[in-house]
Structure 1
Amino acid sequence: MKIFARIRFYYSALVISVVVSIMILLLGLFPERKGSILHFWNKVMLFLLGAGVEVAGRPDEKAQLYLINHQGIVDIITLEALLDKNLRWVAKKELFEVPWFGKLLSGAEMIGIDREDRRGLIKLMKDVKESLEVMHRPVAIFPEGTRSKDQKLLPFKEGAKFIAEKFGLRVQPVVILGSKSVVNEHEKTSTGGDLKVIFLPSIDVANAPKDWYERLHRQMQETIESEYEAHAISR
């Protein structure tokens, strides 16, 4: 079983590498069609990975900021496949330096943030403002900042809260379950299975209570626990 999971992982890695290469090429040839290129080819990638997706709740067409729990690259693939929105993801600067994958992030004009630079939050604010007002692209952030190893959400970083309150954004929390079964990058395994994506109700931060961010964290954690207890679906 473990050998099969390892073989499946390397197949998945090959699929991701090939499709990423295609996207890099197409983004270079047709930069004005970023959104449609990313949406279509991430759908293709999800299909080739053999992962079905169950959706609960509704994506908010007016959402400006998506906050998502994080387990791996499949989280990004899944949301890009579901939403034809030309999302602008916030990623740590180091990922832009990764061979090949960094070219995709740069070509798609994603947002890089340097966690070691005190001016990182100022740059993030400028990039978010440009995304919404100039590029008209919603922003997607993993508020945990890194990947959790179990069912418990890590504490949310304050950056997402700050920019949401600074610009009075409409925020939609999203819970993605099952991504580590599809591709577990740490253990280099893939056991297959389907994903579940839960779009929770949006929050109008401009009119939200002061503890909206803490409530959001609690709601996402309760959703994760409820799905695990009811359907044995892990994050």
Structure 2
Amino acid sequence: MIECSPCLLISASLLLTFILLYRVSQSFRYYSRVTFFYLCIFLHGMECCVTQIPFYFLGWGAYWIFYSFYYWCWWTGIRVEVRDFDKHLEHLKGPAIVVCNHQSAIDVFSMSAVFPPRGTVMMKKSLQWIPFFNITSWLARSIYIDRFNREKALEQVEYCSKLVLERKLKVWVFPEGTRYRDQGMLPFKKGAFNIAVKAQVPIVPIVCSNYSPFYSKKDKYFHSDGEVIIQVLPAVETQGLSLDDVNDLCERVRNDMLKAYDKITPEAAERMATKRAKKQQ
């Protein structure tokens, strides 16, 4: 008679319970996948504390971080199609401001599919205190801003525009300022556009289709058959513009992004519906 140790029995019971809950409970499956996704972000951040070092000296910004993160997320089942990256961003010379709609943590994965060479990110100042993440972001030459300090807003614009020109990097910004999980986009904050105009560098809009067909924090689902379309729009020049032109510039870019969003979101949803229909046959 084969005897099993209590630890082995407990482990087997926990594993079977996990598998059962994962198969029958949508909420359990959601929390499991989201937890593992954040764990991948954390572990990848630890890894990049070392692997990012040579790219810091090469001046690559965060390109290696996002490029390598794409391969950490194969298990999500999300398929991404990027359009016009080579045409509008890959070969764009010099610094630029890249603006993209902001939906959820899944944006990190989307960014990894379309992150520009010699690109970095702009993030809120509080993130610089997160262990490992702060070292990696420093090696990526990230730009921190205090978005709650309105009194020093002009100083921050001057500071950021100076860094953009000095480092000659393409800076990724979410102009909505926070995640928007519904359809469409929030009104854009003007910080990124002020910086672009002050530095006289182009703005490159990037639009991701809505994630709701496969991911929803509100309804607690994270399916493994996601389809995302990312559209890179033509660069918008700021040469000759002043800060007085920022309102119109901001609204024009947002309208162009909304048009692209309204085009690619139904297309991505239709792809998922077709995929699921074939799976059920």
Q: CA deviation at 1:120?
A: 3.9
- Measured against aligned partners, the alpha-carbon deviations of 1:104-133 in whole angstroms (never above 9, x if no partner) come to 22332211111222224423432332233x
Q: Show the counterpart of 2:118.
A: 86
Alignment of 1:86-105 (within 5 A): 86-105=118-137
C-alpha distance in 1 between matches for 2:51 and 2:118:
15
Q: Show the counterpart of 2:255.
A: 218
Unaligned runs of 5+ in 2: 1-25, 271-281
SS at match of 1:144: coil
- Describe the shift of the 1:37–1:56 C-alpha distance in structure 2 as closer, same or farther (beyond 3 A): closer
- Measured against aligned partners, the alpha-carbon deviations of 1:131-170 in whole angstroms (never above 9, x if no partner) come to 33x3221111111111113113111111122122222221
C-alpha distance in 2 between matches for 1:187 and 1:124:
38
Unaligned runs of 5+ in 1: none
Letter matched to residue 112 of structure 1: Y
Correspondence 1:191 to 2:223: yes
Larger RCO: Structure 1 or Structure 2 (Cα < 8 Å, ≥ 6 residues apart)?
Answer: 1
2:190 to 158, 164, 169: 158
Alignment of 1:1-235 (within 5 A): 1-28=26-53, 31-33=56-58, 34-35=60-61, 37-58=64-85, 59-60=88-89, 61-62=91-92, 64-117=96-149, 118-132=151-165, 134-179=166-211, 190-192=222-224, 193-206=226-239, 210=245, 211-232=248-269
CA RMSD of aligned residues (A): 2.9
TM-score normalised by length of structure 1: 0.83
Q: CA deviation at 1:184?
A: 5.8
Letter matched to residue 116 of structure 1: F
- Measured against aligned partners, the alpha-carbon deviations of 1:180-206 in whole angstroms (never above 9, x if no partner) come to 677767777532313221101211122
Letter matched to residue 71 of structure 1: Q
C-alpha distance in 1 between matches for 2:67 and 2:265:
30
Letter matched to residue 34 of structure 2: F
SS at match of 1:112: strand
Q: CA deviation at 1:232?
A: 2.9
Identical-pair percentage: 24
SS at match of 1:203: coil
SS at match of 2:222: coil
C-alpha distance in 2 between matches for 1:231 and 1:180:
10
- Measured against aligned partners, the alpha-carbon deviations of 1:26-76 in whole angstroms (never above 9, x if no partner) come to 234663255453243222224343322111223323261111111133323
TM-score normalised by length of structure 2: 0.71
- Describe the shift of the 1:184–1:165 C-alpha distance in structure 2 as closer, same or farther (beyond 3 A): same
Higher normalized helix content (fraction of residues): 2
More deviation in 115-124 or 12-21? 115-124
Given that residues 100 and 173 in structure 2 are in contact (C-alpha distance below 8 angstroms), is that contact kept between their aligned partners in structure 1? yes
- Describe the shift of the 1:39–1:6 C-alpha distance in structure 2 as closer, same or farther (beyond 3 A): closer
- Describe the shift of the 1:8–1:150 C-alpha distance in structure 2 as closer, same or farther (beyond 3 A): same
- Describe the shift of the 1:194–1:102 C-alpha distance in structure 2 as closer, same or farther (beyond 3 A): farther
C-alpha distance in 2 between matches for 1:167 and 1:32:
24
Given that residues 204 and 234 in structure 2 are in contact (C-alpha distance below 8 angstroms), is that contact kept between their aligned partners in structure 1? yes
